[in-house]
Chains A and B, each alone.
Chain A
């Protein structure tokens, strides 16, 4: 219910904003038609090439490009979403694994915390838009499939929250639990598998939810400098070349929806696995 209220408010504000935003294009048309509130609304909300498309125009565009065309054609947003999502997922898995491995190394070798952590943090202070073209050029020379080049940008962005979260998670067992493993003369791999990793699971899921959303951003950004012809990024680029705001907005909404679905899916996975691990309901 609260979410519906907010959604309604946003839609109202959006419709209202369409009137002044599209005024540049619509003022003469409204005047020609004789003015009045009805004409103002009709023209502001149904401009063919609007500055700010109205919600129902975006909805119609999404309908036309998602449901009304075959999903494997270049006109379909489903096709573009799939191109972007596949590299998002590859990058997410690469970045997730890298993040976990880094965290395990940092927790087990104290020297690494001092030597590696500054680099991990520095890597995230560089604007991704600055480094993406260079990474793509360099990786493009290696002859790896394009999807890995794109995915590496996602991985570059999304390993960071996983590393930070997992370092904290792997260190979350208290001193008593660590002493307990010591009294059993447990090896470090046993301590890792039986104590540290299970204890870090809630931290992992929190990090993964952040990561998967920025992995999608990374995949979209990676499509911009390559002049990609397919993918959500390509749609955005194409839309801005030709001033097709409808195409931009619908691509943005579909991407946001996909990100929300991935976060939701991880949330469900988290719930299920914590339930199996005996968490308090």
Chain B
């Protein structure tokens, strides 16, 4: 689904070039749930944006869905969920989910809208405006919007980072159910270890200066998970390995 080989990305700044990504090699298979985890500045968001063709790598190769990243964006291969809901405040919930359908000129607009609002459990809120919803509900609308045109790939950039832990737990569970039902490939950026372990089939641990991959961990927990699993020893073992990875990448130093 996604294939990155020796990917590098550097910015020119006044103090010389800054290497945001260095020697990133990663492959994501169809149906996987991949988390990118690391401290801020490790390039996890940049990597996601490179996959989405919102940033352009300066070296290496990157294919998304068998195409280069730009062709994949032009072919509307992925849905993107941002850190903030980024809803259009003048559109109701329903019309926000309609937005990509209008732009892409797809058919069965009403059906797609209601199916995807069902998926995030927001039926009944069609006519509400964003300001009438809580932060968690707004982010669910933005997930429905990203899924509205049925892309195979879902890119999520710390979608629950701004929410409190209780809401986040609930949304994590809903996201897992949604993933099981839709069989999408998900690339998920987070800085929460429990969130990464709970959601993923594979965790990519990253470290800053330059942004690079430290470890790739397969999560061999059962595919049906509930919140209690976070107290199991298997879960804690994986969480420990993630923490060790972050430590070895000097993520806990100043």
**In the complex, are the beta carbons of B73 and A180 less than 8 A apart?**
no
Question: Shortest distance in angstroms between A246's beta carbon and chain B's nearest beta carbon?
Answer: 50
A residues in contact with B129, CB < 8 Å? 278
| Binary contact readout B66-98 vs A (1 if CB under 8 angstroms, 0 otherwise) | 000000011010111011101011111000000
Residue of A182, A184, A199, A280 touching B104 (CB-CB under 8 A): A184
Q: How far is the CA of A181 from the CA of B73 in the complex (A)?
A: 11
**In the complex, are the beta carbons of B92 and A278 less than 8 A apart?**
yes
Interface residues of A in 190-219 (CB under 8 A from B): 190, 194-195, 198-199, 201
Question: Shortest distance in angstroms between B11's beta carbon and chain A's nearest beta carbon?
Answer: 16
Residue of A180, A183, A185, A198 touching B90 (CB-CB under 8 A): A198
**In the complex, are the beta carbons of B86 and A176 less than 8 A apart?**
yes
For the complex, would chain A's binding face be called helix, strand, loop or mixed by DSSP majority?
Answer: helix
**In the complex, are the beta carbons of A194 and B103 less than 8 A apart?**
yes
B residues in contact with A182, CB < 8 Å? 54, 73
**In the complex, are the beta carbons of B80 and A183 less than 8 A apart?**
yes
A residues in contact with B83, CB < 8 Å? 176
Q: How far is the CA of A176 from the CA of B74 in the complex (A)?
A: 18
A177 adjacent to chain B (CB < 8 Å)? yes
| Contact A180:B80 (CB < 8 A) given known A185-B73, A278-B91, A278-B92 | yes
Number of B positions contacting A (CB below 8 A): 25
Question: Shortest distance in angstroms between B33's beta carbon and chain A's nearest beta carbon?
Answer: 20
Q: How far is the CA of A273 from the CA of B99 in the complex (A)?
A: 20
**In the complex, are the beta carbons of B90 and A179 less than 8 A apart?**
no
| Contact A277:B131 (CB < 8 A) given known A184-B104, A194-B103 | no
Residue of B76, B86, B89, B131 touching A180 (CB-CB under 8 A): B86
A194, A201, A278, A279: most-surrounded residue (chain B CB, <10 A): A278
Residue of A176, A185, A278 touching B84 (CB-CB under 8 A): A176
Question: Shortest distance in angstroms between B214's beta carbon and chain A's nearest beta carbon?
Answer: 28
A186 adjacent to chain B (CB < 8 Å)? yes
B102 adjacent to chain A (CB < 8 Å)? yes
Sample of 13 more A-B contacts, CB < 8 Å, known A184-B76, A186-B103: A176-B83, A176-B84, A177-B86, A183-B54, A183-B78, A183-B80, A185-B76, A194-B99, A277-B89, A278-B91, A278-B129, A278-B131, A279-B90
Spell out B's residues near A (CB within 8 Å): 52, 54, 73-74, 76, 78-80, 82-84, 86, 88-92, 99-100, 102-104, 129-131
Can you list 29 A-B contacts with CB-CB less than 8 angstroms, sorted by A residue number?
A176-B82, A176-B83, A179-B54, A179-B80, A179-B82, A181-B103, A182-B54, A182-B73, A183-B52, A183-B54, A183-B73, A183-B78, A184-B103, A185-B73, A186-B103, A194-B88, A194-B102, A194-B103, A195-B88, A198-B88, A199-B90, A201-B90, A277-B89, A278-B89, A278-B90, A278-B91, A278-B130, A279-B90, A280-B131
